[in-house]
């Protein structure tokens, strides 16, 4: 396959300063509250209020594709599977579909793999502008010794990962040891160097929306470039209520510091209509600037297949079988 030289994910954005972090401000973090019933009511109403059709729907779905971290995180991953995934990231839908919607060079936002597959992905994507992200720090549990987790980050950066998805120690949140969480996140950020760091909060294991909000703020204070909901391995992954809490933490952080931090929902988002709902919530809470791949990503793989089916339906009026839109 001939590789394209320009990725929609890498088109010039605006010159955003990287989040430099701040000193730990516990008064600010502990002031974070969450009205669960109000949050759930707001999120329940969103899908019905934000329905888009026809050309508008196609445009939103194309934007969703450009924000996908196309991911394979399985114990049976092979070089062949990762190469096929990279080919799919480079051409996420059939070329005739991309041509008809006017985006012939549309790509996904990144490819996300385990450490052992970084070199394969970097080679496969060389010259395309599509970044390689790696999960790290004892993913998914994050329970290996701290010095090993830090060294894992360094090794992944050394072999070419330009984005690192780290997992926090959930126990720091559950025991309210906010200083330990801040120090851990700051150490991970330092180890990443120039690579951007996404902090996975594992929100389904944090006990409450209030904890989610406080952990979000503290990870941003410690220098996280993105905050991310889940590893995809928990029993509860990305949800709209968790998303709303994290987006408002991002908004509060930007208002106080001027730094824009990205957001990544991961796990359980597999339908095109759900992707549009998430994008609509981002637009309402943070504005259009966050609807770009440098500030928003979906952690997903199966989502792409359903989006491709919906785009084909938009163009032909018919739904195709899933097997006609393989991920890799």
Size of the chain, expressed as the number of residues it contains: 328
Phi-psi region of 166 (alpha: psi -120 to 50; beta: other; left: phi over 0): beta
Q: What SS3 class is residue 299?
A: strand
Apex 260 CA angle, 33 and 141, nearest 5:
65
Q: Which of 165, 225, 274, 294 is catalytic?
A: 165
Q: Which of 228, 274, 294, 306 is catalytic?
A: 228
Q: What SS3 class is residue 36?
A: helix
| C-alpha span between 79 and 40 (Å, rounded) | 42
Which among 210, 256, 7 has a CA at the least distance from the CA of 107? Answer: 7
Burial class (CB in 10 A: 0-12, 13-18, 19+), 27: exposed
Query: Is 273 a catalytic site residue?
Result: no
Q: DSSP letter string over 178-207?
A: HHHHHHHHHHHHHHHTTSEEEEE--GGGSS
Query: Is 228 a catalytic site residue?
Result: yes
| C-alpha span between 308 and 305 (Å, rounded) | 5
Which among 137, 134, 140 has a CA at the least distance from the CA of 156? Answer: 134
Query: Is 165 a catalytic site residue?
Result: yes
Q: Which of 69, 88, 225, 264 is catalytic?
A: 264
Which residues are tagged catalytic? 165, 228, 264
């Amino acid at each position: 396959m001939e590789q394209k030289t320009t990725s929609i994910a890498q088109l010039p954005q605006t010159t955003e300063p990287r989040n430099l972090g701040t000193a730990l401000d516990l008064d600010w973090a502990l002031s974070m509250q969450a009205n669960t019933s109000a949050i759930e009511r707001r999120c329940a109403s969103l899908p019905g209020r934000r329905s888009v059709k026809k050309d508008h729907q196609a445009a939103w779905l194309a934007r969703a594709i450009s924000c996908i971290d196309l991911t394979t995180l399985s114990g049976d991953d092979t070089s062949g599977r990762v190469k096929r995934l990279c080919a799919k990231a480079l051409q996420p839908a059939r070329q005739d579909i991309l041509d008809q919607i006017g985006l012939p060079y549309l790509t996904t936002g990144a490819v996300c793999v385990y450490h052992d597959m970084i070199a394969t992905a970097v080679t496969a994507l060389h010259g395309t502008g599509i970044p390689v992200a790696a999960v790290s720090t004892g993913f998914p549990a994050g329970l290996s010794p701290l010095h090993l987790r830090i060294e894992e980050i360094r090794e992944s950066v050394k072999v070419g990962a330009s984005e690192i998805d780290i997992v926090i120690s959930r126990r720091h949140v559950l025991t309210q040891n906010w200083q330990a969480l801040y120090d851990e996140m700051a150490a991970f950020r330092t180890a990443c160097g120039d690579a951007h760091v996404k902090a996975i909060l594992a929100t389904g294991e944090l006990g409450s929306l209030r904890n989610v909000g406080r952990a979000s703020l503290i990870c941003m204070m410690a220098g996280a470039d993105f905050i991310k909901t889940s590893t995809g391995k928990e029993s509860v992954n990305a949800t709209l209520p968790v998303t709303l809490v994290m987006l408002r933490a991002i908004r509060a952080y930007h208002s106080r510091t001027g730094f824009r931090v990205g957001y990544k929902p991961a796990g359980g988002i597999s339908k095109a209509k759900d992707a549009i709902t998430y994008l609509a919530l981002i637009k309402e809470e943070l504005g259009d600037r966050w609807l770009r791949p440098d500030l928003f990503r979906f952690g997903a793989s199966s989502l792409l297949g359903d989006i491709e089916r919906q785009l084909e339906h938009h163009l032909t009026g018919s739904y195709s079988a899933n097997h006609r839109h393989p991920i890799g």
